[in-house]
Amino acid sequence: MLTLVPTPIGNIGDISLRAIEALSEADILLCEDTRVTKKLIHILKERYNTQFDKTQEFISLHSHNEQSFVEKLEPSFFEQNVVYVSDAGMPGISDPGQVLVDYCIKNSVSYDILPGANAVLTAFVASGFVETQMLFLGFLDHKGASRAAGLNEALHNGYTTILYESPHRIEKLLKEIAESEPARELFIAKELSKKFQRYLRGTASEILKTLDGNFKGEWVVVIKAGEKQNSSAITQKDILELDLPKKVQAKLIAKITGENTKACYQRLMQS
């Protein structure tokens, strides 16, 4: 069978007993990065005296070769005890894994998914935003119209929305949010479960000021739910770039966001 095993997102103490058992009993370990998995197994041997079979086979399976690997699979491959692990967290959440599960379903191969460490849920609960519905969008595209559309979706879908962001682009993301939604409340978490874990809550501008250029680390960004925006190809940013009176801009923005026109006008006058 196939077992998808989540691994710690930072603190090794978050490994579960079931995960240790699954890793130690695997005949084949499919790994997003074999070096990372071997390092994890070494730690488990040293810290928890876990016994591993020296004949275990390690196979690299990452986002670039996942599809081609699965296309060559035969169901008989899973007559062995096969485990898949990504580098950190739950496989299939912004990491490979779902294509394997889909293969198992289509080919009647038994599979199991172990629960475990997950940055999305950890940050959602830590945010303190009381809405019980949330939307996870993963990483936005790096640039261009697709990024702008993705950010617009994140800000105006009506749900608490969670994004992942790298240290190279977290400043850019916060500046984009500050420009589009200056009053929107955010919660951002840095290096969850690790030594330098940090929580920050406030508007994008407030958080940028607090960070003061220190953007190192992996980030989870939780955007508090706003009013659901009517489906439109035009964004608030597009309207603000037009050479129009503030009152006209406010009326147009209110049409696509559902915001009160007077409140929108006052916000534009203060910006």
Longest dimension (CA), the chain: 73
- The alpha carbon of residue 41 and the mean position of all alpha carbons in its chain are separated, in whole angstroms, by 25
Output DSSP code: residue 72.
Answer: T
SS3 9: coil
Q: How confident is the model at residue 129 (pLDDT cuts 50, 70, 90)?
A: very high
**In 3D, which of 116, 124, 122 has the Cα closest to residue 90?**
116
The residues, ordered by sequence, that sit 6+ positions from 66 with a Cβ below 8 Å of its Cβ are 96, 99, 100
Q: How confident is the model at residue 255 (pLDDT cuts 50, 70, 90)?
A: confident
**Stretch 30-47: mean pLDDT:** 96
**Stretch 61-83: mean pLDDT:** 96
Give the pLDDT confidence score for residue 143 in this predicted structure.
Answer: 85
Give the pLDDT confidence score for residue 178 in this predicted structure.
Answer: 94
Residue 232 clears pLDDT 70, i.e. is over it:
no
Please check whether residue 187 is in contact with residue 201, taking contact to mean a CB–CB distance below 8 angstroms. Answer: yes
Residue 211 clears pLDDT 80, i.e. is over it:
yes
Percent of the chain with pLDDT over 90: 76
User: How far apart, in whole angstroms, are the C-alpha atoms of residue 162 and residue 164?
Assistant: 7
Give the pLDDT confidence score for residue 123 in this predicted structure.
Answer: 97
Q: How confident is the model at residue 231 (pLDDT cuts 50, 70, 90)?
A: low
User: How far apart, in whole angstroms, are the C-alpha atoms of residue 58 and residue 29?
Assistant: 5
**Stretch 260-271: mean pLDDT:** 87
Give the pLDDT confidence score for residue 227 in this predicted structure.
Answer: 78
Output DSSP code: residue 83.
Answer: E
Residue/partner pairs of 241-248 with CB below 8 Å, 24 or more apart? none
Give the pLDDT confidence score for residue 203 in this predicted structure.
Answer: 97
**Stretch 70-87: mean pLDDT:** 97
User: How far apart, in whole angstroms, are the C-alpha atoms of residue 43 and residue 51?
Assistant: 12
Percent of the chain with pLDDT over 70: 98
Which tens digits make up the pLDDT trace of 163-206? 999 999 999 999 999 998 999 999 999 999 999 999 999 999 99
Span of 27-41, 91-105, 136-150, 206-220 with lowest mean pLDDT: 136-150
Quote the pTM value. Answer: 0.82
**In 3D, which of 83, 34, 27 has the Cα closest to residue 55?**
27
Residue 58 clears pLDDT 80, i.e. is over it:
yes
Residue 161 clears pLDDT 60, i.e. is over it:
yes
**In 3D, which of 99, 94, 92 has the Cα closest to residue 67?**
99
Per the prediction, the chain carries an average pLDDT of: 93
Give the pLDDT confidence score for residue 233 in this predicted structure.
Answer: 60
